[in-house]
Structure 1
Amino acid sequence: MRKVEADALEVIELAGAGRFAELAERFTPRMREVVSAETVRVGWSVQTGGAPCTPGVPAAEATTEDLFRVRTPVSCPAGDFVVVMSLDPAGRLHGLRLAPLAEQVWQPPRYAKPGRFTERDTGSGTLTLPRGAGPVPAVILLPGGGVQDRDGTHGADKPLKDLAWGLASRGVAVLRWDKPMPEHTLTEEYVTPALTAVQEMCQEPTADPDRIFLLGHSLGGKVAPRVAAASPMIAGLVLLAAEAMPMQRSAQRVVRHLAARDPGPAADAMIAAVDRQVATVDGDLGPDTPAADLPFGFPASYWLDLRGYDPVRTAAELGRPMLILQGSRDHQVTVADDLALWRAGLRDRKGVTIRVVRGADHVFHRRGRHVTGAVIRRIARWLRSAG
């Protein structure tokens, strides 16, 4: 085994043992500016669910003369994944991320009928169009937080592709796109690319320019009202598991949920670390606050932008139809906390439909590994009636 491969195994062993401070000692100075031990702790806990995991055989490839990319498969009860690292010959970490296993293959859900639609790549995304005469209602998908490809890929799960194929099978045009890692504010992450997608859809002859809707999931649902406020071309909103609480509060809630599943000193340390980061967002946050001191390692500019944004109030001021769906089994965005805020803020608004999907989790899985067909059917019916 090459030295860099042995180094990669040591990093995974440190993470598995909860020794994140030791792991962070291997960061390069540049990486230390943007990633903290607490950030890695939260990411590892979310990925593994706090369960013991077993690393496989690492594979290294040289990317430059002094840098190697090492991929190590990890077997875990919560789902297998790959740890991808950038390491130098001295064993210092230049990059670290958790990725789905490439060999896992998405299978179309039964409600998807490929003969009823076509797809084409737009460069930045994928346009899925129903066959036959238009114009038809159209949807722009807004994915959840963090780096997301156009399908919302997580292992073999592709919930955004489920939505696109399911809706296109029922006569709805869908545009989905690759979302990069947040860098500065919600504008760069969501608003600018979403408005570009709206313009692309307006130029598509199959799509009805008067019936272009946003469909946002999780953080994408939270930001959808801001996007809609920036464009009169958007006819309405579909919000799936949309955050309403401040995002730092959601981070606390998720960490506490994970810690309750695997209590102990490591879980207590994880909670304490996130509480410190949240206190910084709520308190002395300034433009120069290091990203490593903030939740998810996002920069201070991102959190300052979120401070001034109230998604429920923005949605209430839009005056456009909305469909809000929430899974009853969702522990990341919840009925008690988030949906309660949407209900309270929109109770006097006409044209707003709010429903709880019984037994559905955060990505609207019920029993299988696809967005449940009931959600696809409800969205398609609502789009036809709202238009």
Structure 2
Amino acid sequence: MNPVPKDNLDTLSQLFIGQLLKGDFSEATIQFDDRMKKTISETKLQQSWEDVTNESGILLQLTPTRSSNNEGYRIIVIKCRFQRFDVDVQLVFNEQGKISGLNFTPIKNIYNPPSYVNKSSFNDVAIEVGEGEWALPGILSIPVGLDQFPGVVLVHGSGPNDMDESIGPNKIFRDLAWGLASQGICVLRYDKMTFKHGKQLTPEMVEKMTVKEEVIDDALIALKLIRKTDNIDTKHIFLLGHSLGATVAPRIGLEDPDLAGLIIMAGLTRSLEDTLLDQYTYIYNLKGAITEQQKAELESLKEKVDKLKDPKYKDKIATQDLPLGVPIAYWRDLQENMPLDVVKEIDMPMLILQGERDYQVLNSVDFIGWKTALKERSNVNFKLFPELNHLFIKGKGKSTPEEYNVEGHIDDEVITTIVQFIKEL
């Protein structure tokens, strides 16, 4: 019998990975040869996969396969690029095209601190935000050798983020925490509820969840906690939000009027549904030619966005008919609390930062939106960084999703701008 051609094995490998990603472990084991079926059951395959991917975050990219031969077997390796780390999936195929060997290798990224970090100037202390079964692991980066210091709580962007807001090799919240702590500012960061407790959320809980339960409630608890830190200057506590965290920062400021100020990094002023449509349109057009499948996906997304905006549907839309499959309660909460409406109700100092290369939050719409709405406020500062992307990392040309897989750091000018804003108040 002739060996199965490599192109066919590449297709089988992609199929197998797709089944793992969908959680279809029963179908995946059908590709095993007889020996593998006796060695690795469907349950064991699921456990092995979840052991290496439980903390990996969302899938960003599948890299092209690489292959080799060994004693009549064909070895195929596919790198799965997840949000927080990569996983190499090694598949060993026999001549009949059946899987006779399997190995998952997580490749954790090594964090190399940026030059503006001085690790001798602060201590990291493990804490918990909240209590009981829903408590969240966190870290306080506390300056040393100071009698008193200001404090900052960091609030994540959308999705199940860890305390470092890790994306590929980048850890932008660790950059912020260590960069600010090196300048005498105490910083609290913590795992997002959907990252730490995502598997404990029942379908009923998800159906009713809004950004209040997902983000705002824990941020308010974190603010109470940082105020209890020894030597903290309770009159100089700030909230820093990135992306979704920046978008809802005015709502947190409304709930905690004792804050000294808000720092808004890449905050939306448009609706999230419009933003999603713009983002997918941008990404699909990056190569200049859009495929028929991408056209169909954009049309489907547009139909869902239009339905979400149509008053006649109000609360009568099935979750599968909504963008990203996110339930209606979440969307309605955001629609009823638009940032520029909420920000009119608070008068605390604000620093609003934007990367000009950001394709997710736009300088031409969102940043200008903040500037227009707050132009009469003397206690609001704005700063646009021409070379920075959504992660506030420097680059050139059009920003792309693949750029997030390149190691970088929050630009030092961002750190300097935030420090100056905090210390001048």
- TM-score > 0.5 by shorter chain: yes
Say whether residues 1:104 and 2:127 are aligned partners: no
State the distance in 2 between where 1:269 and 1:106 align. 40
State the distance in 1 between where 2:125 and 2:13 align. 39
Does the 8 Å CA contact 1:285/1:300 hold for their aligned counterparts?
Answer: no
Per-residue deviation at 1:55?
Answer: 4.9
| Residue 141 of structure 2: aligned partner | 128
The 3 A distance-change label for structure 1 pair 80 and 180 is closer
Does the 8 Å CA contact 2:353/2:382 hold for their aligned counterparts?
Answer: yes
State the distance in 2 between where 1:106 and 1:254 align. 29
Per-residue deviation at 1:333?
Answer: 0.3
Matches within 5 A, 1:140-179: 140-179=153-192
Aligned counterpart in structure 1 of residue 414 of structure 2, from 370, 375, 381: 375
The 3 A distance-change label for structure 1 pair 75 and 223 is closer
The 3 A distance-change label for structure 1 pair 168 and 103 is same
Per-residue deviation at 1:277?
Answer: 1.8
State the distance in 1 between where 2:360 and 2:227 align. 34
Query: Structure 1 unaligned runs (5+)?
Result: 1-5, 27-42, 58-70, 85-99
Does the residue aligned with 1:144 lie in a helix, a strand or coil? coil
Say whether residues 1:315 and 2:328 are aligned partners: no
Per-residue deviation at 1:9?
Answer: 3.8
Does the residue aligned with 2:389 lie in a helix, a strand or coil? coil
Does the 8 Å CA contact 1:144/1:216 hold for their aligned counterparts?
Answer: yes
State the distance in 1 between where 2:13 and 2:148 align. 53
**1:384 is matched by which residue type in structure 2?**
K
Does the residue aligned with 1:122 lie in a helix, a strand or coil? strand
Among the aligned pairs, what percent are the same residue? 29
Say whether residues 1:73 and 2:98 are aligned partners: no
Q: Report 1 or 2 for greater relative contact order, CA contacts < 8 Å, sequence distance ≥ 6.
A: 1
State the distance in 1 between where 2:12 and 2:274 align. 35
| Residue 201 of structure 1: aligned partner | 226
State the distance in 2 between where 1:204 and 1:256 align. 46
State the distance in 2 between where 1:7 and 1:193 align. 44
**2:186 is matched by which residue type in structure 1?**
A
Deviates more, 1:275-284 or 1:205-214: 275-284
Does the 8 Å CA contact 1:313/1:345 hold for their aligned counterparts?
Answer: no
Deviations 1:278-308, CA, capped at 9 Å, x for gaps:
1121125444533222222221110011110
Deviations 1:309-335, CA, capped at 9 Å, x for gaps:
121232232110000010011011011
Does the 8 Å CA contact 1:237/1:323 hold for their aligned counterparts?
Answer: yes
The 3 A distance-change label for structure 1 pair 199 and 285 is farther
Does the 8 Å CA contact 2:146/2:184 hold for their aligned counterparts?
Answer: no
| Aligned CA-pair RMSD | 3.1
| Residue 93 of structure 1: aligned partner | none
State the distance in 1 between where 2:13 and 2:188 align. 38
**2:177 is matched by which residue type in structure 1?**
A
State the distance in 2 between where 1:122 and 1:74 align. 32
Say whether residues 1:54 and 2:57 are aligned partners: no
Matches within 5 A, 1:191-340: 191-262=216-287, 263-283=290-310, 284-287=312-315, 289-340=317-368
Deviations 1:165-193, CA, capped at 9 Å, x for gaps:
00000011100111133941111011110
Per-residue deviation at 1:83?
Answer: 9.2
Does the 8 Å CA contact 1:101/1:155 hold for their aligned counterparts?
Answer: no
Deviations 1:33-56, CA, capped at 9 Å, x for gaps:
xxxxxxxxxx87xx34xxx73257
The 3 A distance-change label for structure 1 pair 7 and 297 is farther
State the distance in 1 between where 2:356 and 2:216 align. 29
| Residue 214 of structure 2: aligned partner | 189
| Residue 60 of structure 1: aligned partner | none
Does the 8 Å CA contact 1:102/1:155 hold for their aligned counterparts?
Answer: no
Aligned counterpart in structure 1 of residue 375 of structure 2, from 308, 324, 347: 347
Deviations 1:110-157, CA, capped at 9 Å, x for gaps:
111110000111132111111112321111101100110000011211
State the distance in 2 between where 1:83 and 1:269 align. 31
State the distance in 2 between where 1:245 and 1:11 align. 39
> TM-score, normalising length from structure 2?
0.70
The 3 A distance-change label for structure 1 pair 285 and 167 is farther
Count of residue correspondences: 325
State the distance in 2 between where 1:379 and 1:311 align. 21
Query: Structure 2 unaligned runs (5+)?
Result: 1-10, 28-57, 68-76, 90-104, 129-135, 199-205, 396-406
Does the residue aligned with 1:354 lie in a helix, a strand or coil? strand
**2:149 is matched by which residue type in structure 1?**
V
